[in-house]
Amino acid sequence: MTKPAGGPGTTLLGAAALFGMVTTVVLGIRLPPTMEQGPYARLIAIHPPLAWASYVAFGVCALASVGWLVPRTRSPRWDQVAAAGAEVGVLFCTLTLITGSIWGRPTWGVWWTWDARLTSTALLEALFLGYLALRRVAYDPVTRARRAAICALVAVVDVPIVHFSVDWWRTLHQGRSLAQLTPQKDLDGSYVSVMLLGFVAMTLLCSWLIVRRSRVEAMEQALEADTFEVALEERRAESVPVS
Amino acid sequence: MSESYVWAGYGITVGALSLYAAWVVRRGRVLARSLPPDDAEDQ
């Protein structure tokens, strides 16, 4: 029997992610209220890190897709990692949109607005949902992997558009969160450190989820191949002429 | 009321991430049991 948990490295990664997440949540929820936003600013410990983790996951999906498309490096492993990256990325992107909406309601007065950052993020979510839908269409594994890889490379183009949308267009959304970490910005030190911790924790969690999910994907593909072989054998047996 | 938005944000995030992580772990265990040992060890 396999070890679905993976080796000690994966366990260590999972433990570090859990510790980081618990610490981020405990410290984030206890951040002092700010003059401008009151208690809502506490969402800074999770909202930008969630967005960052979705970039990481979609980036992993795109890199793995390149790994599959290049004939010299082609391996089913790349396809499995790409599938895992897309699914984990969609989860983080969904949570980014939800936490952003929750933050926007008391500070902007609306749950949603067609702002450049919000719209490009929603488009990113839609593109990778399309990627996941494409993977469910029944093709042979090679065709499915090729089409999915091309789709991922098209979809990932939206990641830099999301990131730089606040610079390229006039938006309601605040500037890039990573820019808030520079010393000349007047973000309180406790906010900076908890947000940084959030970035580390979400990156660790995202990595652990991709590792675990890609193993699940590998087992699902192996099971799919076994089922196909059994069905093929049954068809062959049916077609044997009776003497 | 003001705190409820913050709690909702944290609650939904922690809840969704925990549920997904639990699903991935459980699915991995179920599949590892249902695959032949040779196939499972390859993963």
Query: In this prediction, does ipTM exceed 0.85?
Result: yes
Query: Is B2 touching A (CB cutoff 8 A)?
Result: yes
User: How many angstroms separate the CA atoms of B37 and B9, rounded?
Assistant: 43
Q: What rounded mean pLDDT belongs to chain A?
A: 89
Binning pLDDT at 50, 70 and 90, where does residue A81 land? very high
Query: Is B24 touching A (CB cutoff 8 A)?
Result: yes
Largest CA distance in chain B: 56
Q: Do the chains contact at A212 and B28, CB–CB below 8 Å?
A: yes
Which candidate from B9, B24, B36 shows the least CB-CB separation from A102?
B9
Q: Is 0.90 topped by the overall pTM?
A: no
Q: Per-residue b/e over A53-86, b at no fewer than 16 CB within 10 Å? A: bbbbbbebbbbbbebbbeeeebebbbbbbbbbbb
Residue A112: both structure tokens together:
């949603």
